[in-house]
Amino acid sequence: MASFAALLLLLSGLVNLSLAKDSCDLYAAVGQSLTLPFTYEGLTSSHVLRWTHNNSIIFYRQQGRVSVGKSGDISAAGSLILKNLQHSGAGFYQANILHPNGTFAKTWGGRVCMLDKVSKPKLVYSCDFKVNAVNLNCDVANPQGLVFSWTLDEKTLTSERKQTLSISLAQLKGERSFTCSVENKVSKDRSDIVRPVCKTPTPPMPATLCFKSSVVVAMLATVAGIILLLVIIIGVLCCSNKRNKTQMRPVDRAGLRMLSVSKREPSSVSPEYETMHPTEDSPTPSPEPSARVCYEKVSLPDAPSENRPAQLSTEAEGQKASPVPKPRTRGPQTQNV
């Protein structure tokens, strides 16, 4: 009879496990403790109590003696207390109680799912002046499967269940406070209070050229180097020009002396020398008439004055002069020939 009851319990456990394979009856957070909701009024030490996890026996007590597990893991009503749960604690749990005579008394089964605790969200916002609204975002790690909620001035916005919230700038008149909350089946957390401030932006300033300090220093150094190079070049050119002038002065003076001498030579040569020794380039002078002939051909004026020189005749004036310049001589005094 007892063996038949045990077989019945095993078969019922397999059926319950297959039915609860894809559903969660209980949720637990990692690191937390969980008491499975099973009780049996009138439980005594003479009853047979057995707990299984995924068809593995984790607690067994018979006739008051615990052969598997610890006595502290079971409450007085037969509930199983799970401590410091981890992800490996997820699965199907089942409890079976038999009377002292081996007959079936009660059974229970349920599936436990493990979840991580939610992290504290961070509320951020941005002002969008194109649509005159402020956009709020409830930033949290692993947002999948989380439920979001919002509060405005400590009042819950029941219609807002998304991760983001958009409020018109007209609703921000005055100091308004916002918070967001996230929760899952096992935990819940809330962000800090945020008071958005959106001011109308001023017109942008004209774009200016901005350079880094290192670039400015490099440019100044380059300009200073160029100026210094120009000063050096100018100094070298000035010194070279001054040196050339100093070296050319004796030559220039000698040249000037030779030029002055060459200019003086023609004037210092007497007409007689030029006449006696004509140069190759100059034409041969025509024979000049004698002074007597000139004097004979001179016509006497009607009334010569004392100081007036004698005038030559037209025939004398028409004669061709010598090409060689001669010094001018004073005409002879008119005499009676």
H or E stretch at 164:
strand 164-168
Same-domain status, 127 and 170: yes
Last residue of a domain, one of 89, 115, 141: 115
Q: Which pLDDT score, from 0 to 100, does residue 269 have?
A: 47
Last residue of a domain, one of 160, 190, 220: 190
- Confidence check: pLDDT of 208 > 50: yes
Distance CA(184)–CA(273), nearest Å, equals: 139
26 or 280, higher pLDDT: 26
Same-domain status, 87 and 151: no
Q: What amino acid occupies position 296?
A: E
Same-domain status, 13 and 64: yes
Q: What amino acid occupies position 206?
A: P
CATH of the domain at 67: 2.60.40.10
Residue 263 lies in a domain: no
Residue 297 lies in a domain: no
Burial per residue of 239-271, b for 16 or more beta-carbon CB atoms within 10 angstroms, e otherwise: eeeeeeeeeeeeeeeeeeeeeeeeeeeeeeeee
261 or 30, higher pLDDT: 30
Short-list 65, 68, 75, 34, CA closest to 52: 68
Report pTM.
0.50
Same-domain status, 41 and 133: no
Q: For residue 138, give both structure tokens.
A: 């409830």
Last residue of a domain, one of 149, 172, 190: 190
Residue 266 lies in a domain: no
Residue 45 lies in a domain: yes
Same-domain status, 14 and 78: yes
pLDDT digits (tens, 9 = 90+) for 296-321: 444 444 444 444 444 444 443 444 44
Instruction: Report the pLDDT averaged over residues 67-91.
Output: 92
Residue 231 lies in a domain: no
Q: Which range among 147-151, 177-181, 238-242 shows the weakest confidence by mean pLDDT?
A: 238-242
Could you write out the DSSP letters of every residue in 87-149? GGG-EEEEEEEE-TTS-EEEEEEEEEEEEPPPPPPEEEEEEETTTTEEEEEEE-S--TT-EEE
Q: Which pLDDT score, from 0 to 100, does residue 26 have?
A: 93
Please say whether the beta carbons of 9 and 103 come within 8 A: no
276 or 40, higher pLDDT: 40
pLDDT digits (tens, 9 = 90+) for 229-283: 899 999 888 888 887 777 655 555 555 555 555 555 554 444 444 444 454 444 4
Please say whether the beta carbons of 95 and 107 come within 8 A: yes
Instruction: Specify the number of domains making up the chain.
Output: 2
Same-domain status, 177 and 106: no
In angstroms, what is the C-alpha Rg of the chain? 68
Please say whether the beta carbons of 70 and 95 come within 8 A: no
Residue 22 lies in a domain: yes
Same-domain status, 39 and 96: yes
Please say whether the beta carbons of 152 and 110 come within 8 A: no
Q: Which domain holds residue 66?
A: 2-115
Q: Which pLDDT score, from 0 to 100, does residue 258 have?
A: 59
